[in-house]
């Protein structure tokens, strides 16, 4: 009788991983996004996480590619059920790399859910 192997449980995707994948999609998948670190964040009224990313352009530099991405990030509407991105900032920029800080906040109205 064959032994049934346990299937790994799907891991919930964190807000940080969803932000990273949406940055990649915004750039037309011409970048790779690596999480540098995450830190809990809180104020009197809100709780969330501060995320730090390195965004690396793949291949040769396109004249305006990384610059266009840097300009698009602050106005991008990230879709993260149960959270919202309250702040996103490019802290460093070169021809092939961005360093990005983002703040995701737990939405007080929509409860976070497993992805």
**Domain positions in the chain:** 15-106
Query: Between residues 99 and 8, which one has the greater pLDDT?
Result: 99
Q: What sign does the dihedral 34-40-41-47 (CA atoms) show?
A: positive
In the prediction, which pLDDT does 107 show?
A: 87
Q: Are 52 and 99 in contact (CB under 8 A)?
A: yes
Other beta carbons less than 10 A from residue 28's beta carbon: 9
For the domain made up of 15-106, the CATH class stated in words is alpha beta
pLDDT band per the 50, 70, 90 thresholds, residue 11? very low
64 burial level (CB within 10 Å; 0-12, 13-18, 19+):
exposed
């Amino acid at each position: 009788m064959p032994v049934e192997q346990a299937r790994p449980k799907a891991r919930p995707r964190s807000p940080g991983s969803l932000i990273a994948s949406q940055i990649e999609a915004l750039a037309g998948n011409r970048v790779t996004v690596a999480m540098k670190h995450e830190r809990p964040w809180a104020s009197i009224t809100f709780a969330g996480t501060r995320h730090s990313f390195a965004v690396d352009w793949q291949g040769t530099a396109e004249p305006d590619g990384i610059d266009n991405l840097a300009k698009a990030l602050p106005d991008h509407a990230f879709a993260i059920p149960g959270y919202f991105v309250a702040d996103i900032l490019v802290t460093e920029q070169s021809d092939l790399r961005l360093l990005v800080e983002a703040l995701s906040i737990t939405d007080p109205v929509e409860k976070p859910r497993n992805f």
